[in-house]
Amino acid sequence: MSALSDLEKLYMDLRDDPAFQKEFDLDLAHYVGRPSPLYEAARLSDAIGGGRIFLKREDLNHTGAHKVNNTIGQALLAKRMGKKRVIAETGAGQHGVASATVAARLGLECCVFMGEEDIRRQALNVYRMKLLGAKVVSVTSGSRTLKDAMNEAMRDWVTNIDDTFYIIGTVAGPHPYPMLVRDFQSVIGREARAQCLVQNGKLPDALVACVGGGSNAIGLFHPFLGDADVAMYGVEAGGKGLETGAHAAPLSAGTPGVLHGNRTYLMQDEDGQILETHSVSAGLDYPGVGPEHSWLKDIGRVQYVAANDDEALSAFHRLTKVEGIMPALETAHALAHAEKLAAGMTPEQHIVVNLSGRGDKDILTVASIDGIEV
Amino acid sequence: MSRIAGVFDELQRSGRKALIPYIVAGDPDPAGTVPLLHKLVASGADVIEVGVPFSDPMAEGPVIQKGHERALANGMTLKKVLSTVAEFRQQDAKTPIVMMGYTNPIERFGYDAFADACVGAGVDGLITVDLPPEEVDAIDTALQAVGLDNIFLISPTTPESRIKTIVGRARGFVYCVAVKGVTGSGQLDTTEVAESVALIRDKTTLPIAVGFGIKDAESACAVAAAADAVVVGSALIDKMNQEAALGNTSQIQLHSAAVKLLRSIRAGVDSSPS
């Protein structure tokens, strides 16, 4: 607890410190490659008919996903605290890669916890982390996925608290993490909002983002929360279908509870045990969700829906074929819902989809589902 | 006087330290839990901590984690843990039982309903590992209303100001975590443990139990020199695992292995110089 209080205190001091913000912004510009473009997916819009779809291209960031925005920010905090080792949990491996990347850049020791099941299905990212000098620890407890990796990272952190900084990859976990991860990711929404005004002369009618823990979604949504006319959709992993129970959609089909130091919607049984999740995408395979999303659901500001594995896979193929952009399977869930939404809109209406990550890491998964040996 | 206070009072008057074994309810076999509790008492336990299995036991090392997993695979639930304690109470009205678990199953049960069920079953105290004092008001109100002790962990990284807050809310005893880390981990530094205990002692008259990392008679003896109670969990479960790995998987064989270790730890505690 005292490590969390120390982190909160440091962050509250730095949050409005222009020198810290400048350092963060410079890194985002020169190391990550921001701002990321807002690209109109005209052929995708035409293929569907209806509203115009714009993609916020977080896949073009260094390391290929939005995750790096946050790891840059937290690495700056780790540096200020004088920590020489960072640890991270990862599901799809994108946050692990982004953590290993900033650790390499700052000369910090890095250890990434990853569920045994995820190591199997994200072999490319595992090797990337190793190339970057990180140690990847296979987590064999529980369901062997993201939540168990987070448990293991917490255990490591309390054991090595003196020299270690825990870089949490999403807007979950104990306070102050949900707040600081949201702040670091909000650059997505700030840029997108300004780009909409410049490129289209108006704000979008709807925002769509996938939600696992919810960091890319909160990053896009947060700067628009005051814009009452902008509808927002968070898309969870519907897995094999909400009715089958084999999904990862706590906001759509879960109940409130306490896990990993926050109160939020969870997938749990009647005894309060956390349930195993299912999703074709490792990055959405988490039984909880950031607490701010739970609040946004309860106040009705954001609508949370689910897209099934099959719908996500179709959206993956469609974007690849008609736009030449291969999205991550996580992101494909957002695209699947955006397509439904666009179909019911007019061409005067605009949708911004957070294209949170690129799909190279998922090629083997997709090939195996399609029955192709690579 | 509560059952917990009574036991510590009696021990203090006879100049002895308490021994607190920890087991996970339902591990390795739900039918064996009540007999094991009785055997632990017969082998020197003064208080028993009963672990409530949880799918995500964040504070546990690998040994106790596996215990939680086995218990859940055996169909253990919070309700069944409560009935296990109730069954134990039919034969033992004296030994305090402290439940140790995580927030979510208790919250799901409902705080008031849980507190009532604890009293009904004969539970004496509760350790909620992942509930810091900042978040404890709701459950504490329910526990206090029925006279249950709320027991808090204090870690080696807890600053003094926070120790004050925690002991101000604590009842029954205070649980001093001996090492930075999870259960069953680390090298115990008995000098550091003595310093931590002294720091807490300065701020409370409650008994102080020390746990995490106590493995044998020797470490128990060293810790008992400073503390009022010694908690041993992972070592007991690990002993049963080792026995099972040898192919000795019957209830009697597993329990005998645990009891043998507990007796030697009891001797270690009793040989402490203080």
**Per-residue model confidence (pLDDT) at position A81:** 94
Q: Say whether A243 is catalytic.
A: no
Instruction: Please give the average per-residue pLDDT across A214-221, as a whole number.
Output: 98
Is the model's pLDDT at A20 over the cut of 80? Answer: yes
Note the pLDDT tens digit of each residue in A32-49: 999 999 999 999 999 999
Is the model's pLDDT at B7 over the cut of 80? Answer: yes
Contact state of B104 with A158 under an 8 Å Cβ cutoff: no
Instruction: Please give the average per-residue pLDDT across A6-25, as a whole number.
Output: 95
Is the model's pLDDT at B186 over the cut of 80? Answer: no
- pLDDT band (50, 70, 90) for residue A92: confident
Locate B123 and state its tokens: 């539970």
The terminus-to-terminus CA distance of chain A in angstroms comes to 47
Instruction: Please give the average per-residue pLDDT across A4-27, as a whole number.
Output: 95
State the complex-level ipTM.
0.94
Q: Are strands A262-266 and A255-259 parallel, antiparallel or unpaired?
A: antiparallel
Contact state of B65 with A270 under an 8 Å Cβ cutoff: no
Name the residue range of residue B249's domain: 3-270
Cβ atoms of residues A91 and A149 within 8 Å: yes
**For residue A193, what is the DSSP state?**
H
The per-residue DSSP string of A132-158 comes to TT-EEEEE-STTSSHHHHHHHHHHHHH
Fold classified for A33-64+187-369: Rossmann fold (3.40.50)
Report how far Cα A88 is from the mean position of its chain's Cα atoms.
14
Nearest by CB: B78 against A154, A162, A271: A271
A141 touches chain B (CB under 8 A): yes
Go through A179-205 and write b for each residue having 16 or more CB atoms within 10 A of its CB, e for each that does not: bbbbbbbbbbbebbbebbeeeeeebbb
- pLDDT band (50, 70, 90) for residue B188: confident
Instruction: Please give the average per-residue pLDDT across A321-341, as a whole number.
Output: 98
Instruction: Please give the average per-residue pLDDT across A41-64, as a whole number.
Output: 97
Supply the mean pLDDT for chain A. Answer: 96
- Asked: is A2-29+67-181 a CATH 3.40.50.150 domain? The reply is no
Question: What CATH number is attached to the domain comprising B115?
Answer: 3.20.20.70
Q: If you measure CA to CA, which chain A residue comes closest to B106? A: A272
A154 touches chain B (CB under 8 A): yes
* Total residue count of chain A as it appears in this document: 374
Contact state of A155 with B103 under an 8 Å Cβ cutoff: no
Contact state of A147 with B56 under an 8 Å Cβ cutoff: yes
When divided into structural domains, chain B yields a total of 1
Q: Say whether A89 is catalytic.
A: yes
Interface of A with B in 273-332 (CB under 8 A): 273-275
Note the pLDDT tens digit of each residue in B30-75: 999 999 999 999 999 999 999 999 999 999 999 999 999 999 999 9
Contact state of A271 with B62 under an 8 Å Cβ cutoff: no
Nearest by CB: B72 against A161, A258, A273: A273
**Per-residue model confidence (pLDDT) at position B273:** 80
Q: For residue B213, which of B259, B156, B145, B152 has the smallest C-alpha distance?
A: B156
Contacting residues of B for A3, CB less than 8 Å apart: 157
Q: Of all helices (H) and strands (E), which one includes residue B229? A: strand B229-232
**For residue A62, what is the DSSP state?**
T
- pLDDT band (50, 70, 90) for residue B274: low
| Nearest-angstrom CA–CA distance, B71 and A158 | 25
B75 touches chain A (CB under 8 A): no
Instruction: Centre a 10 Å sphere on the Cβ of residue B265 and count the other Cβ atoms it contains.
Output: 28
Angle at A319 between CA A30 and CA A94, to 5 degrees: 45
Contacting residues of A for B132, CB less than 8 Å apart: 1
Range list for CATH 3.40.50.1100 in chain A: 2-29+67-181, 33-64+187-369
- pLDDT band (50, 70, 90) for residue A123: confident
Catalytic residue (choose from A36, A45, A58, A67): A67
Is the model's pLDDT at A117 over the cut of 90? Answer: no
Instruction: Please give the average per-residue pLDDT across A15-21, as a whole number.
Output: 94
Q: For residue A353, which of A33, A35, A52 has the smallest C-alpha distance?
A: A52
Q: How far is B7 from chain A (nearest CA, A)?
A: 31
Q: How far is B243 from chain A (nearest CA, A)?
A: 22
Q: Say whether A356 is catalytic.
A: yes
